[in-house]
Amino acid sequence: MVFIDIKHREVTLKLVYYGPALSGKTTNLQQLHRLMGQQTASELLTLNTRDDRTLFFDLLPLRFSTRGGLDIKLKLFTVPGQVMHAATRRIVLQGADGVAFIADSQVSQTRNNNESFADLRRNLSENGIGVDDVALVIQFNKRDLEGIRSDDEVRTIASKGKEPVYKGTAIEGRGVADTFLGLADLTWSKLESRYALKEKFGVDRSDFMAHVRAMLGAGSQAGVLPVAPREPGGTA
């Protein structure tokens, strides 16, 4: 979970992009890295197999300082989606403060979405993280393809859950910033309620989000829905 160093005035958050293989987790991080450009000197570290699927994880470390002198570090990870890397997913998920579940919008990927979401819940439990304790947002990616669930279907699915849902076409950058901003916002809100970060460091949610938006430069693009499904990709 969150690492708080009161003496050195540092807070480190861990955000994990989770989902089935080839759903667009790595693409989301690549687009975030591109959007941030000169706003961060961080490099995106990627470890791939020969077929270009993530083998272990991607890591995008971010850092900024607030007006009150608080150093905030955001560590963004992805997990490998293939079934064979279950142990790696569980390890990467350890200590996560927030999770973005990247679902594939194609109807043909419904089963893979559901199995991956069930895997997420199981690994959170095995890591001692309550599903209600971690910040969780969902992105329905690949909205540019044929054979996807319609916007109305996504809204119907979303109405059955409580997590924020975003629509995206990560390969074009659409919905990427919105998903990240939503994840960062929800994560800070949950941590504030648990650890009283404003009282300890004088940094509230608006301060935190102002710095996060500044890293993205131009900001977000439309694509948010009010609520999210508990079983993303499942039939309505």
User: Residues 101-142: pLDDT tens digits?
Assistant: 999 999 999 999 999 999 999 999 999 998 889 999 999 999
Q: Can you tell me which residue has the tokens 């910040």?
A: 135
pTM: 0.86
Contact indicator for 10, 73 with CB cutoff of 8 Å:
yes
Orientation of helix 176-195 relative to helix 25-36, angle to 10°: 90
Task: Write down the mean pLDDT value for the chain.
Answer: 83
107/157: higher pLDDT: 107
- Domains of the chain (ranges; CATH) run 3-225 (3.40.50.300)
User: Residues 31-75: pLDDT tens digits?
Assistant: 988 888 755 545 666 655 444 454 344 566 777 887 778 888 888
Contact indicator for 87, 57 with CB cutoff of 8 Å:
no
**Structure confidence at residue 59 (pLDDT):** 62
Asked whether residue 206 carries a pLDDT value surpassing 50, the answer given is: yes
Residues 6+ apart with CB under 8 A from 127: 90, 93, 94, 95, 96
39/198: higher pLDDT: 198
- 67-93: average pLDDT: 80
Burial 3-32 (b: 16+ CB within 10 A, else e): eeeeeebbbbbbbbbbbbbbbbbbbbbbbb
